[in-house]
Amino acid sequence: MKIGELAKLTNIPASTIRFYESKGLLTPTTRSANGYRLYTQQNLEKLQLIKFSQSLGFSLNEIPSLRNENGELNHTIIIERLEEKQKEADILIEQMQKKSQRIGSLVALLNSHWNEGECLPESTLNKLLEAANYE
């Protein structure tokens, strides 16, 4: 199949497929007589694996390190990296929960003052800003 068909099947732009080739993540199987890149089902599966890996937080630079010298997936390294990605995700979730709580508290504080027709006292604002510097 040509690059346009591969792009359509994977929903990945042809320019991105060419970029993956330039990074060494994908190689066309052959070229036609007129120079068109030709791809196989294996290339399609490789592209799907690249997109799946990215969805788990792997960068394009990390993806080649998931294979051993023979080009086969290295199960030990994959498990180790997935465990690291899970820890990173847990940290991000915790940070987002704290951020959500701070936003909720600020909304409640502002509403309580504004409902009384008051602005937030400057001393309260300064305390909030000071506390944010320590988080």
Give the model's pLDDT for residue 135: 66
Give the model's pLDDT for residue 130: 79
How far apart are alpha carbons 55 and 76 in whole angstroms? 20
Give the model's pLDDT for residue 90: 98
Q: Are 70 and 77 in contact (CB under 8 A)?
A: no
Residue-wise pLDDT for 47-102, tens only, equals: 999 999 999 999 999 999 998 888 888 999 999 999 999 999 999 999 999 999 98
Give the model's pLDDT for residue 74: 93
Q: Are 9 and 47 in contact (CB under 8 A)?
A: no
At the topology level, CATH places domain 3-56 in: Multidrug-efflux Transporter Regulator; Chain: A; Domain 2 (1.10.1660)
Show the CA angle centred on residue 42, arms to residues 57 and 20, nearest 5°: 45
Q: For residue 78, with 0-12 CB atoms within 10 Å meaning exposed, 13-18 middle and 19 or more buried, which class applies?
A: middle
Q: Are 39 and 46 in contact (CB under 8 A)?
A: no
